[in-house]
Structure 1
C-alpha cells in the first residue's frame, strides 16, 4: 500500500507542476481586482474598471482560475498518465473522456431524480419551506463541472477516474479481441473499457454523494458552538478535506450563511463570517472587526505564511545533495505560492502521498492555529486565501487596534520553527521519501538522454535481466531501474552489473530486482519498454 501511495504521489507531481504559477496569478489577480478592496483604499483610478491594470489583473485572475476550476479534470488526466505503466498517452486521453462521461451520466440521473439548476437553487429550497442555512446546505451539493450540471465531488472525482483508468490501462493495453473485433484490440480497447467502467461509477454517485456531502455539512455545525476546541477541529478537518476539495462542503456555510454568525453593521443585519467582515470594512464607524466572524478563516495565516514555507525548507535541507538544485526550484516556487497567495496545494501534494504522516501533523498544527488565534481575538479578513497579500490588505493596513494582527507576526516564527523541525526530524527518522530523497521520484534531474544512453547498451541490460521473456514489469524511480521478473535466478550477478553494465549496485528481493543507475534509470526504463 505504501508503495502504491508513493506511485500516486509521483503521478500527482505531473499536474502539480502547473499549480504554483497559476496560484500566484489567481491570488494576485483576485486580490487586486476585488471591488471593495479597490474602493476601500482609494485605488479606483489605478485599479478600477476600465484601467489598464484592471484588464491585466483580470486576465491573470481568470488564467489562474482556469487551472484551479478544472483541477478535477487535470488530476484525472495526470494520475491516469502517471500511473499507467504502458501507453500513457492513451491512458490520459481515456481519463479525459471518462471524466466527461462520468459527470454526464451523473447529470442525466440527477435529471431523472428531478434535480435541475432551477430546482437546486437556494431560492427554490427556501420556497419549499427550508431556512436560509438548510437551503444553502442543500444547494451546495450541486454545481457544474466543465459546464455540466452535476454534484460537487471535486478533486475526489478526478482521482477516482484517474486511478480506475490507470488500472484498466495496465490490464488491457495489450488485450486481444476476436478477429471480427480486432480493430478494437490493444490500446484501442482502453478508452472503451474505461468509459464503460467509469459510466457505471457515475451512475452510482448521485445516489451516494448527496448524503455524504450533507453529512459533512451537518457534522460541521457544532464547530461554531464550541469555542477554541471547535476551532481546532474545524481547522484540522478543513485541511484534511482539502485533499479532495471537499472543504467546499463546509466553509461556505460559515462564510456566507447565519451559521457563521449574525451582526448588525451600519444598520443592516449581516449574516456569514466573510460578509460581516467586508460589511465592517466598508463601514467607516468600525472600531474593531469581529473575531467571532473571522474565526473561520484567520487561523490559516500561520500555516500558509510561515508553516508550509518552513516545511518546504526542511524538505530541501534533507534532500540528497545531488538532487538539491533540482528539488530546490520545485519547493521554492511552491513555498512562494503559499506565502504570497495562501494557495497550498502545490506544496501539500509534494508530500501528501509520499509521506502522509506529515500531512496528518500539518492538519493538527493548522487546527491549533485556528484555536490559538481565535482565543487571542485576532480578526484579519481574507478575499481569496491567507497569504501575505490578504494579510497586508486586511491586517497591516487596517491597524492592530482593529485586527490584533500582531499575534500573527509574533507566532509566525515559532510556527515556522515547529514545522521545520517536526518535518526535518520525521523525514530523517522515518526515512520518508520526500522530493529529492533516495528513491523519491518527484524530481527529474536529467536532460541529456542521448549522451547518457551511450554509457549503457540497452540490449545487454535486457539480456542481463534474463531476456525479454523473463520481464514482467519494468519501471523506474529517480535513481533505480525497478524490474519484476519471472525467474530471478536468470538475472545476472552483481559483478556483471557493476563491471560490465556500469550500474552502481543491484538488489534482489523475491521476484523484484532494483538496479541503481542514477539519472539513467528512467531513460533505461523507457528504452526497455520500447523494445518490449
Structure 2
C-alpha cells in the first residue's frame, strides 16, 4: 500500500522508520528492568511489609533489594542505552564499532561538560538538582538525560556512516576504517560537550516551557496526545512521538531523593524505588495510563464486534484469529494484530479508535490513574505497576471500572459502523476475492524455512534487500526497487499488513517478529 508519493517523501519515511526502529533496541531492555524494579520495589516497600507480614523475612527482603537495585540501575542510565541503541540501530554495517564509539562519545561529552563547569566556576558542590546538574556514569555534569544520549547516538551514526571506510596513508593504515570511527567520534564529542554546556541550560528552559504549555491545555491536551499517538501507530512513528514525554523534561520533572529526574517514565520508576512515595507522579495519568483502558478492554470489544458481524460460515476461523489477537492485546498491550485487521479495509474505524484512545487518556487524567508501564498497557504491567503498588498510590481500580463500559462502547460503535457501511472486516470479505485476511495463515503456523523463503521472495529477492531490522511487531526493510514488493507473497508468509513508501517497507507480523528477523539474517548472511 502506497502511503506517500515517491521521492522526497519516500526518503524521509525511510529515514524516519530507521530512526524509530533504532529506539526499539534500548526500549527492549525496559520490560525486564521494569519487572525487576516493580517486584523488588513493591515487595520491599515498608508499607507492603506492614500490610503483608509474611514478607518480613531477611533473606527474602535481600532478594527483593537486589532485584530493585538491578532494575533501578537501568532506568538511571537510559542516556547511554539510547546513545548505543540509536548508533547501532541506524548504522548500516559494522554495528559493534558504532555502539562502542557511542559509549565512548557519551563519556567524553560528559567529561567535557564537567571540565567547562569547573572552568566557569559553576560546578555545584551540593544540591545538584536545583541547578540542573547530576551524576552520569560517575561524572558530575549537566542533566541532559536521554536527549544527551540521543544527540550522541545521532552524531555517532553520522560520523560512522561517513568515516567507517576511510583509508589513511600507509604509515597510519592501522587507524583507518573502523578504528578511525572511535577516534573521530571522541574528538567530535569534545565539541558536542562544549555546545551542550552553552545551549543546554537555555534549551532546558524551552523544554520546561513546552511542558507548561502541555500542562496548560489540561484534559484537552491529554486527549490530543492520545489521538496523535494512536494515529502515528500505522506508520511506525509513534516511538518518536511518545519517548520525549516518557524520558525527557517534556514529560515533567521532579526532585526525588535529592536528584532531578526528568520524563514521566523515569519519574515513575524513581518513585517506584522510593519508600516515601505516597502518590505517583500525575504525568503518568496523562502519558501512560490511558493505554490500559484501550488495550485491555476497548479493543476486545472491537474483536467481539468483528466476530458477531462475520459471515456464519467464517465465524469459526475468524473467532480463532480474533481470540489470539485479543489475548495478545489484553496480556501484553500489543495491538497491531487487531488494528491491522481493520485499518486498511475500514480506515474510518481506525480514526474512531484513535479518538476513543485519546478519550481514554483524558479519562485516565481526570481520574488521576497513575499506573506506569515499561512497554505497553497490558495486564502484566497493570499487575506489577498498579495492583501490587496499591490503589492508594495508583487508583488502578478505575481501570476496570472505566474499561468495562469502554468494551461496550467499542463493541456497539464498531458493530453499528461495520453493518451500516458494510465494511469488509474479518469474515465479511466477498467470496470471489482471491486473497482475504481470513485465508492468511498465522506466521507461527508456517515452517521457518518456507516462511523465510516467502518473505525474501515477497521483498523482491535477496539482491533487492538493502537493510533489515524490526521493532516490537513489524519488520522494517529498505529495498532497492519498491516495485518488486509482492504483498500477496508476504501475506502468504503470515503477515497481517504491509506498509510501503517507495523503498521503505514495514511488514507486520506481531510479537514473534524478532525470531523472523533472526531467521532472515541467517539466510541473508547479514
- Per the normalisation by structure 2, the TM-score is 0.57
Q: State the match for 1:125 in structure 2.
A: none
Cross-structure match for 2:333: 335
Aligned to 1:3: 14
Structure of larger gyration radius: 1
**Structure 2 residue aligned with 1:373:** 367
Asked which structure has the greater RCO (Cα within 8 Å, sep 6+), the reply is: 2
- Residue 66 (structure 2) pairs with residue 59 (structure 1): yes
User: Which among 163, 168, 178 is matched to residue 159 of structure 2?
Assistant: 168
After superposition, residues 40-55 of structure 1 pair within 5 angstroms as: 41=51, 43=52, 45-48=53-56, 51-55=58-62
Q: Would the aligned equivalents of 2:214 and 2:221 in 1 still touch at CA under 8 Å?
A: yes
Cα deviations by residue, 1:390-431 (Å, 9 ceiling, x for unpaired):
6446765x6xxx9987654422334567799999x9xx99xx
Are residue 81 (structure 1) and residue 88 (structure 2) matched? yes
Correspondent of 2:170 among 179, 182, 190: 179
Over 3 Å counting, the alpha-carbon distance change for 1:247 and 1:482 in structure 2 is closer
1:123-154 C-alpha deviation (Å, 9 max, x unpaired): xxxxxxxxxxxxx6x43x22121121122222
Unaligned runs of 5+ in 1: 122-135, 258-273, 282-288, 339-356, 375-379, 430-436, 438-442, 466-470, 499-508
Structural mapping, 1:59-208, within 5 Å:
59-118=66-125, 120-121=127-128, 138-139=130-131, 141-208=132-199
How far has the Cα of 1:183 moved from its partner? 1.1
Q: What's the CA shift string for 1:339-361, capped at 9, x where partnerless? A: xxxxxxxxxxxxxxxxxx99997
Question: For residues 82 and 315 of structure 1, what CA distance do their matches in structure 2 show?
Answer: 35
Cα offset for 1:333? Answer: 6.9
Q: Is the 8 A contact 1:295 1:370 kept in 2?
A: no
Partner of 2:266: none
**1:382-531 → structure 2 map (5 Å cutoff):** 387-388=382-383, 391-392=386-387, 396=391, 407-414=398-405, 474-476=466-468, 482-484=478-480
Partner Cα distance (2:301, 2:99) in 1: 33
**Could you say what secondary structure the match of 2:140 adopts?**
strand
* Gap change, CA 1:298 and 1:109, over 3 Å in 2: same
Q: CA RMSD in A?
A: 5.9
Tell me what 2:496 maps to: none
Query: Closer, same or farther in 2 for the Cα pair 1:143/1:362, shift >3 Å?
Result: farther
The reply to whether residue 25 of structure 1 matches residue 74 of structure 2 is no
| 8 A contact 1:311–1:419 mirrored in 2 | yes
Number of equivalent positions:
407
Cα distance in 2 between the residues matched to 1:394 and 1:242: 25
Flag structure 2 segments of 5+ consecutive residues without an equivalent: 1-11, 227-240, 260-270, 307-317, 336-350, 375-380, 418-422, 425-436, 438-442, 490-499, 510-514
Q: Deviations over 1:285-343 (max 9, x none)?
A: xxxx9xxx98665567842533355689799999xx9x99999999777539x9xxxxx
- Which residue of 2 is the match for residue 230 of structure 1? 218
Distance across 2 between alignment mates of 1:452 and 1:87: 24
Partner SS state of residue 144, structure 1: strand
Structure 1 residues 484 and 308, CA gap change in structure 2 (3 angstroms): same
2:36 matches 1:38 = no
